[in-house]
């Protein structure tokens, strides 16, 4: 309020007053969560991934007290943050949370997790934000080992039937392997019972070997010198 006083030319006092109001507008408070993963890809056999969550007070004026930082897959991250929670952040100040986890999964899939931070500003208004990070699983090459043996070391000059044993082992670190063919450089397709180059065979396609699994079969062929 402002008041003015004075006297007129008859020496009589005069005065008046008035008020003016200014509304103070509250500026909304906010935080920004940024989450990253390092590395962003691991082999399907698995690897360690470090997730980092940065919470920034993006408010124009108010300080913000960050109370919790949680992750939908990794749980409560509050104990992994610096400064420790709860913590008051002035505008543009940050806190950082970091956690390392071992992740493994199937090739061409991904692991996605979401971090969420919550808190209150100095007016008691709740603030919240979240962000996600993605880690992809890369392919690991599959492999098999084949061992072939014969039941005799020598044959007669006229020739004789020899039984050959074939051992197929899945030496892949991750994937199962299905046998689709077994071909001999001399006797051809030993899965085919009508193969004229062999006498008989127990070998067949379609067997699926788990990691570390093996398959054994045999075929008989006439060997002559």
The pLDDT tens digits of the residues spanning 10-24 come to: 777 877 777 766 666
Q: How far apart, in whole angstroms, are the C-alpha atoms of residue 122 and residue 66?
A: 11
* Strand partners of residue 138: 43
Radius of gyration, alpha carbons of the chain: 39
Q: What value does the mean pLDDT take over residues 138-151?
A: 96
Question: What is the C-alpha to C-alpha distance for residues 163 and 199, in angstroms, rounded to an integer?
Answer: 9
Per the confidence metrics, is the pTM higher than 0.85?
no
pLDDT of 57-100, one tens digit each? 999 999 999 999 999 999 999 999 999 999 999 999 999 999 99
- What is 126-177 written as a DSSP string? EEEEEEEEEEEEE-----EEEEEEES-S---TT-EEEEEEEEEEE--SS--E
Domains of the chain, by residue range, sit at 31-138, 144-223
What's 31-138's CATH class?
mainly beta
């Amino acid at each position: 309020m402002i008041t003015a006083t004075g006297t007129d030319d008859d020496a009589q006092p005069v005065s008046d007053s008035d008020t003016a109001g200014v509304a103070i507008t509250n500026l909304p408070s906010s935080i920004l969560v940024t989450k990253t993963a390092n590395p962003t890809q691991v082999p399907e056999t698995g690897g360690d991934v470090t997730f980092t969550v940065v919470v920034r007070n993006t408010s124009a004026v108010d300080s913000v007290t960050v109370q919790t930082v949680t992750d939908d897959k990794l749980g409560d991250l509050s104990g992994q943050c610096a400064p420790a929670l709860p913590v008051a952040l002035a505008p543009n100040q940050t806190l950082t949370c970091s956690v390392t986890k071992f992740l493994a999964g199937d090739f061409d899939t991904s692991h996605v997790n979401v971090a969420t931070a919550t808190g209150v500003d100095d007016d008691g208004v709740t603030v919240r934000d979240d962000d996600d990070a993605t880690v992809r699983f890369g392919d690991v090459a599959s492999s098999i080992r084949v061992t072939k043996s014969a039941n005799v070391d020598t044959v007669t000059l006229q020739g004789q039937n020899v039984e050959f044993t074939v051992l197929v082992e899945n030496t892949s670190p991750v994937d199962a392997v299905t046998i689709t063919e077994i071909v001999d450089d001399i006797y051809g397709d030993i899965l085919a019972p009508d193969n004229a180059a062999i006498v008989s065979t127990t070998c067949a396609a379609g067997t699926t070997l788990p990691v570390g699994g093996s398959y054994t079969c045999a075929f008989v062929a006439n060997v002559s010198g």
